[in-house]
Amino acid sequence: MSFLRNAEKLFNNVYLFTWDTFIALANLIAPNRKPGSVIPHGQPGAGRKWPEFVPPGKGDSRCCCPALNALANHGILPRDGRNIKFTEMTHAVKATFNLSSTFSIFVPTYAADMLHKNYKTDSFDLADLNVHNGIEHDGSLLREDARFDPKQDTPNLPLITELLASSTGKAPAGDLCFTHADLSRASGKRRGAARATNPDFTLNKSQKGFASGNCASLLLVFGGRVAELEPFLTEERLPEGFEPHILSRWGLSLLVFNLNIFKIERAIKEEAVPVAAMVQNETA
């Protein structure tokens, strides 16, 4: 039984990654979309108009992912964050952020497996995704570690403010924006601080991949623009007039995503925090 399940998973992954390679190649050849016309007519966000933002209320289910929380805050996913079909999440992330079909199937399938649920038929609440060391991991940029913040469902403003202040790039129009190197540096700093303060700290190779994947999404979906990331990260709200910065015809492929993850992760140098300095800070 478990052999058959593993064989099926392997087959699905080979199929998905082959399909993804075709998407990546086709994107290279097909002309890009023009800004202003990325979201198809009839979808939420067409003409840069998004359904109303309402912050989560008492009893609403939220998680460690700013993107999924934002979809619920705008009512693109159910506003209470409950009873969401995995396939509904696939559709919502694809249509809102212009991710490729392969990307939008891969991550929700991984999440369903993590929760021991069936991707095609089952539902989940956003808070279910907060399982520590499932996808959620230590040393994140937007949340304190689970030891200190077991709920993981609200933005940590001090961490986010520090992150937003650390960009060094300039977009062609002059806007402040993050570079790959900025996010490598911020990650190295954050991982070092988390390791020094959290006795339960763990971060293995796959979790590092997820962490740098999250950084890559900020660069690719939001073009690293600080002005757009500010409402997205602090309020989990789509910026006014938002449109994803992914203009390729068939959306962001896993291949391009992985190349960006590699570039960010490879350049991370975890900053060691001397224990003496930490003790001094605490007593100061």
Ligand X SMILES: *[C@@H]1O[C@H](CO)[C@@H](O)[C@H](O)[C@H]1NC(C)=O
Distance, in Å, from the CA atom of 233 to the CA atom of 99, rounded to the nearest integer, reads 19
Distance, in Å, from the CA atom of 174 to the CA atom of 84, rounded to the nearest integer, reads 40
Residue ranges in 212-241 that form contacts with ligand HEM under rule CB under 6 A = 214, 217-218, 221
Q: How many CB atoms lie within 10 A of CB 246?
A: 22
Residue ranges in 185-224 that form contacts with ligand X under rule CB under 6 A = 204-207
Q: Which is nearer to ligand HEM, 24 or 221 (CB)?
A: 221
Mapped onto helix, strand or coil, the DSSP state of residue 273 is coil
Q: List the beta bridge partners of residue 169.
A: 177
Q: Which is nearer to ligand X, 28 or 279 (CB)?
A: 28
- How many residues in total does the chain contain? 284
177 in contact with ligand HEM (CB under 6 A): no
Find tokens 């001094």 and name the residue.
280
Least Å distance, CB 254 to ligand HEM, is 12
Q: List the beta bridge partners of residue 85.
A: 123
Q: Residue 108: which of ligand HEM, ligand X, none does it interact with, CB under 5 to 8 A by kind?
A: ligand HEM
Q: Which is nearer to ligand X, 37 or 161 (CB)?
A: 37
Distance, in Å, from the CA atom of 135 to the CA atom of 130, rounded to the nearest integer, reads 8
34 in contact with ligand X (CB under 6 A): no
Find tokens 């060691």 and name the residue.
272
41 in contact with ligand X (CB under 6 A): no
47 in contact with ligand X (CB under 6 A): no
Mapped onto helix, strand or coil, the DSSP state of residue 115 is coil
Residue ranges in 245-284 that form contacts with ligand X under rule CB under 6 A = 250-251
Q: Which is nearer to ligand HEM, 111 or 261 (CB)?
A: 111
**Phi, psi dihedrals of residue 176, rounded to the nearest 5°:** -65, 135
Task: With residue 176 as reference, give the H or E element that holds it.
Answer: strand 176-177
93 in contact with ligand HEM (CB under 6 A): yes
Question: Of 76, 129, 203, 226, which one interacts with ligand HEM (CB under 6 A)?
Answer: 129
Distance, in Å, from the CA atom of 52 to the CA atom of 279, rounded to the nearest integer, reads 46
Pick from 206, 166, 168, 172: nearest CA to 189: 166
Least Å distance, CB 36 to ligand HEM, is 19
Residue ranges in 73-132 that form contacts with ligand X under rule CB under 6 A = 94-95, 98, 100-101
What residues line the site for ligand X (CB under 6 A)?
Answer: 33, 38, 40, 94-95, 98, 100-101, 133, 204-207, 250-251
What residues line the site for ligand HEM (CB under 6 A)?
Answer: 64-68, 89, 93, 97, 107-108, 111, 129, 135-137, 140-143, 210, 214, 217-218, 221
